[in-house]
Structure 1
C-alpha cells in the first residue's frame, strides 16, 4: 500500500501551493480510503485546471468552494465535478475568484486505484503575456478583453472584468448550465468526440423562454458578435436577456430553451458521418455553418495515385478532384492517396459514405510515391500544384516524409504568402520531426502535424481523447521542436484496395486510417475551410490562427509533445471571420 499523502477529511486536507506551472501528485483511493482531500488558496481571479489520470479503475473528482470565504468551510459548495466512467481521465477547467477551495478525489463504488492529480492556475494578469501560446478554450483572460462589436454597430468597451464569466468545455460532450449574475457570460464548446452517441455540447437555458430573449446567431455575412476573449477577436453567437445581460458562445451544438430546442451544428446526410469522430472532436460540423469551402482556395495532394477501376476513381470522391499524372499505384495493394483525398474532400451531403471536410474547393492529386511510371518528384509536384492553383490560395498536403531538397526548400521559401504546407511529423515515436515537416521550425507557411487518439486505440483500449498516439514496438507520433498541432488518427476514410498488385481496385471504406498521414489530412481540410472563410489572409496567418485557437493539451501553452494542441475548426473559422470583418 502506498503512503496516504492526502488528507481523508476536510480539516486534514493536504495543502497545495498552486501556481501557473503544472504540478502532479500521486496517491490512491479504495474502499478503505474513500476520500482524498486537497486544499488551496487563490489570491486573485485565475484560470484553474485539474486533470486526474493514471487510473486502473474508476475514480472521480470534485472541486469544492468555501462559500463564506472564511477559511472554515462552514458552508461548502460543489462548483464542478468530473465523473467519467471506467479508467477515463477526469478534468475540471474553471474560472475561479480569489478564495479558498478543496479538491476531493474519491472512488466510484468499490473501485481501487492509484491516480495522478495534476493542477495549475494562471492569474489573468500572468496570462496576458502567453496568449499566443495558449488555446482559445484555456486562455480565459478577461483582463485583456477590450473590444466587443455587434455587427453593424460602433465599437464599444467590454464589460468590467468582474462582470464577465468565461467557461471552457472539454473535448467531450459538455452541458453548460447558465448562471445569472454576470453582465456577460462566454462559453466555448471545443469539439465533441461523443457526438456519434447523440450527446451534444449543450447550452442549458431551460429556465428561459426563447420569446423573452434576443438572438443574434453568427453567420458568414453580418450575424453574430465579434469579441475578444483573450487571444484576439473572434465571431460568437449571441443571446441578450431581458435584463440586458449577454451570453456569447462558440462551438455550441444545441441550445435548450424553456419552450424549444435549437440545433446549430451541421449534420450532412452521408450515412457514415456518424462514425467520423475525427470531424466531431475537431468541431468541423460547427465550422460548416460558416463555410464548406469555396473556389477561392485550392487543395494540392502529393501522395500515391488514386485507386481506380473500370468505373473510375472511388465514387465518393468529389467532382472537384483533378488527377495530374497517375490514377493508381502499380505495385501497391491499397491506395494511400485515396484515404488522404477522401478525408480532405470526399463528396459530402450526397447520401453516400463519408463526408469530406471541404466540400467545394478544387483538389489536385499528384503521384510522387512508389516509383511508378510517370511519377513526379517532390519539386516537380509542388511546382505543378502551385501552377494548377492559379490565383487561388493553396494548401498542400504532404502525408509523407523524405524527398526534401534545397530546391524544394526554395519553393517553400518563395511561396510564403499564398501556399501553406501541411506535413506529417513522422511515425517513429521519436523526439524529432521528420523531414520535410521539420521546415516548420523556420518557415511560417509550414505546419508539422502529430497524431492523437479519440476515446480508444486500435485495439479498443480506452484512451483519453487528445492523447498523443504511442504504441510500444509499432508506431507513435513523432514530437519535438517545431511540432505545430496534433489531430486525430485511426478513423474511417475512403479506401481502394486489392488482393494483389495485378487485381483491380475494390472501392470501400477503411475504419482505421492511421499514422500522422491521417492527422495531416484532417488539418489540411480544416486549414482550407479557414482560408475559405477569409481568402485575404496569408499562409502564415492561417498557421497562426490554427495555433492560437487549438485546444491546449499537455503542459500549459506550447510544448513539444502536443505543439499548440488539438486543431479546433470552429474556433479557427470564428477567428478568421472576425479578421475578415476588419477586427484584428
Structure 2
C-alpha cells in the first residue's frame, strides 16, 4: 500500500447529470467531468447522456475497493474507455479537468472518513522523502569523506512542527514539534485535549492543519517542505444513559438529528446483551461497516477494519446521512427492516451461560477463542480417577495435558475438572462452552495425591516452550499455600520469576458467612496467595459476583442485577470480580452442574486473560493485568472500592485494548488504558 491515501476533493463531489455536458469535440462531452479524472491521460469515447453522476466524498471513498470501480460507480464511465489525448497544451477547457487530490493529512482512526476527525482523536500526516528531490535530500543529509576516500551519507535529524488554525475564529493552536523517521513515510499527531470541536450552534468545527518539515534545529531550521489541509473536527456524543450501558441488557436509541448538530456517536454497551435501535434507518442506509461497503447480516460479526479511538478499537458504522457510529459491546443492530446479530456463530450452549453474557465474552470471541501459545495452567484438584485408575476426563477437556497424579479427594473430587470446563471446554454444541477453548490446557493437582503448589508452578515454568505464555488458575485459598512445598521466601522468588511470561488469577477466598473458609478478616483482606497483589503486578485476586436476578433476552440468559457474594473475601487488595454460579462439567459422564464460590470466579477471569494474551503476546503479565483492570466495568462506587475492587472483568473491552496495542502501539498509547473505559 502506498503512503498516500487518495481522496476526492469536495469541490468535485456533487452529482452532475451527464446530459448537461456539452460536446467540445466530436467524440466527447464537455470537460466539466467534476467527479473524474484520475490523471489517466486518456479521453472519453462516449458518455451515456441519460446517466447521472453519483456522489464520491470522504465518507463514500472505500480504501479496499479499486479506484477504477469507484470511478465507474460515480460517473458511469468505464476508465478503460477513457482516452484523454485531447488534453494538450493550448486546449481551452473551462473549467479545467480536475485531478484527483491526494490527501496528506488524514484521520488516523481508519474509519474511512479521511477528513473528519473525532475530538481528542489523532491525525496521520503522510510524506515521502523520496519525493523531496535532490535539493531536499541534500539539505537532509550530511556527506563525509572517509580516510580512504569513501563517501558516507549520514541522514540528519528531521523534525515536523504542526499547528492548527480555527477557520471560524482564526485562532492558531500549536500542536507541537516532533522528530520523525524520514524512512517511514508518515507520522501521528495526538489531538487529545488540544482542539475544541464545538463551534457556533454545532458540534463541528473546521481547522486548517499546517505542517512544516525541517532539519537542523528549531533555532536554525533548514526548511524541507511545508503544506496544509483542512479537516473537520467533530465532538462525539458518548455520555449519558443513551450511550453507556451496564452489566445487564441495555437498549440504546439512535436518531438522526442532523449532522451539523452532531454526526458522531459512541455507544458502549459493556456487559449484557445490548441492542442499538436505529430509528427510521434501513440496513440499505448503511454506507459502510468496518471498512466494507454496506452491511451484510451473514458477515457482520467479522472484524473487518476496526476504528481506533481512545486507545482502543471500535466497530465503525457509517450511514448515508453522514453520521458515523462507533460501537463497543453492542450485540444487536436493530434496523427498521432487519435485526443484525454481531456475535459470532459459535457454540449455542453459551446462550444459557450468564457468565459469558455479563462479561461480554461473545464479543471477545469475534477476535479469537484462544491460542496454542497461551497455556491455561490449572492449580486446583486436577482430575480424579476413573474405574481404570486414569484421569476421569470429559471429552470436552481432551486437549488437557495432565501433569500430576489423580487426586484422592473424597469431597469435591471434580473441583478442578469443573474449573477447567468453565475456562476451556471445547465448543461442540453440548454441555458447556468454555471461555478460551483454543488455548492449551495443563492440569495440576495441588491437593491430595498430587504435587505442592511450589512444585506445580516450577514445573509449568520448566515445561514452557518458546513464546508460550502461562495463565495460572488458582483454586486455592488460605495462608498455608504460601509455604506449600517451599519457604515463603522461595515462593516469593518463584513468583517473581514469572513476571514476563506468567499471569495468576487467584481466588479471593470464601471466608465469609456460607463460605468454606472461616476468615475473621474476610471484610478487609483477600486470602492467602491472593493477597500478594501489591507485591506481584502479574497477580490478580478475584472476588465472586452473583446475579440477583436473571432474564432471557433474545434467547440469551442475562443478569438483571448483580452483587458481591456474601461469603466472598474483599478489601484493599481485591483486584477484580468475576461471575460465580456458572455452568460446569462435572466429570467424564458430561454431567452439568452449577459451580460456585470464588473457585468459579477465578477460572472465569483466567479464561478472559487467556483470550487477551492470545490477541497480543507482546505484553508481559503486569501489562496484561493493567489491561484487565483498565477495561473493567465499574459496578461499585466510582473507581476502586473495597467491595468490587476495580470492577467486573469485561472480555470484549480488554481484548479490544490488546488488539489496538498490537496493531498500532503508538496510536493506542495516546490514551492510558483507564482513561477511556469501555
TM-score range, shorter chain: 0.5 to 0.7
Match for 2:419 among 336, 340, 356? Answer: 340
CA contact (8 A) 2:509 2:543 kept: yes
Distance 2:504 2:353 in 1: 24
How far 1:481 sits from its partner (Å)? 1.3
Match for 1:481 among 572, 578, 598? Answer: 572
Name which one, 1 or 2, has greater alpha-carbon Rg. 2
Distance 1:205 1:220, change over 3 A: closer
Distance 1:286 1:305 in 2: 30
CA contact (8 A) 1:305 1:337 kept: yes
How far 1:542 sits from its partner (Å)? 0.9
Report the equivalent of 2:220.
none
Number of residues of Structure 1 aligned to a counterpart in Structure 2: 408
Is 1:280 the counterpart of 2:357 in the alignment? yes
Deviation per residue, 1:297-337 (Å, 9 max, x gap): 11111111213424853324333210001234343353110
Deviation per residue, 1:171-197 (Å, 9 max, x gap): 1211110133423100111121xxxxx
Distance 1:361 1:220, change over 3 A: farther
Report the equivalent of 1:186.
266
Map 1:123-138 → 2, pairs under 5 A: none
CA contact (8 A) 1:304 1:329 kept: no
Distance 1:563 1:307 in 2: 34
Is 1:175 the counterpart of 2:251 in the alignment? yes
Report the equivalent of 2:381.
304
Distance 1:243 1:463 in 2: 36
Distance 1:201 1:185 in 2: 16
Report the equivalent of 1:112.
none
Is 1:165 the counterpart of 2:237 in the alignment? yes
Distance 2:270 2:395 in 1: 29
Distance 1:306 1:441, change over 3 A: same
How far 1:273 sits from its partner (Å)? 2.4
Deviation per residue, 1:195-229 (Å, 9 max, x gap): xxxxx41111141122222233398876110111x
CA contact (8 A) 1:220 1:577 kept: no
CA contact (8 A) 2:531 2:541 kept: yes
Distance 1:175 1:333, change over 3 A: closer
Considering Cα pairs closer than 8 Å and 6+ residues apart, tell me whether 1 or 2 has the greater RCO.
1
Deviation per residue, 1:519-554 (Å, 9 max, x gap): 001000000000101111111111011101101021
Distance 1:221 1:269, change over 3 A: closer
CA contact (8 A) 2:394 2:589 kept: no
CA contact (8 A) 2:540 2:575 kept: yes
Aligned with 1:467: secondary structure?
strand
CA contact (8 A) 2:505 2:606 kept: yes
CA contact (8 A) 2:250 2:274 kept: yes
Deviation per residue, 1:227-265 (Å, 9 max, x gap): 11xxxx111100112243210001111111233221111
Map 1:409-488 → 2, pairs under 5 A: 409-429=492-512, 430=522, 431-456=524-549, 465-470=561-566, 476-488=567-579
Distance 1:220 1:412, change over 3 A: farther
Is 1:358 the counterpart of 2:440 in the alignment? no
CA contact (8 A) 1:306 1:329 kept: no
Q: What RMSD in Å do the two structures reach over aligned CA positions?
A: 2.8
Where structure 2 has 5 or more consecutive residues not aligned to the other structure, the ranges are: 1-116, 126-184, 204-234, 292-300, 483-487, 513-521, 551-557, 670-678
How far 1:149 sits from its partner (Å)? 8.2
CA contact (8 A) 2:118 2:236 kept: no
Aligned with 1:567: secondary structure?
coil
CA contact (8 A) 2:252 2:275 kept: yes
CA contact (8 A) 1:489 1:515 kept: yes
Distance 2:347 2:586 in 1: 20
Distance 1:282 1:148, change over 3 A: farther
Aligned with 2:416: secondary structure?
helix
Distance 1:209 1:416 in 2: 50
Distance 1:384 1:557, change over 3 A: same
Aligned with 1:453: secondary structure?
strand
Aligned with 1:574: secondary structure?
helix
Map 1:196-207 → 2, pairs under 5 A: 200-207=273-280
How far 1:384 sits from its partner (Å)? 0.9
TM-score (norm 1): 0.65
Aligned with 1:386: secondary structure?
helix
TM-score (norm 2): 0.57
Is 1:528 the counterpart of 2:606 in the alignment? no
Map 1:568-579 → 2, pairs under 5 A: 568-579=650-661
Distance 1:220 1:201 in 2: 18
How far 1:347 sits from its partner (Å)? 1.2
Report the equivalent of 1:147.
122
Aligned with 2:564: secondary structure?
coil
Distance 1:176 1:149, change over 3 A: farther
Match for 1:237 among 312, 315, 318? Answer: 315
How far 1:561 sits from its partner (Å)? 1.1
How far 1:398 sits from its partner (Å)? 0.6
Is 1:250 the counterpart of 2:328 in the alignment? yes
Distance 1:407 1:238, change over 3 A: same
Distance 1:148 1:287, change over 3 A: farther
Report the equivalent of 1:75.
none
Distance 1:175 1:578 in 2: 26
CA contact (8 A) 1:490 1:515 kept: yes
Is 1:558 the counterpart of 2:533 in the alignment? no
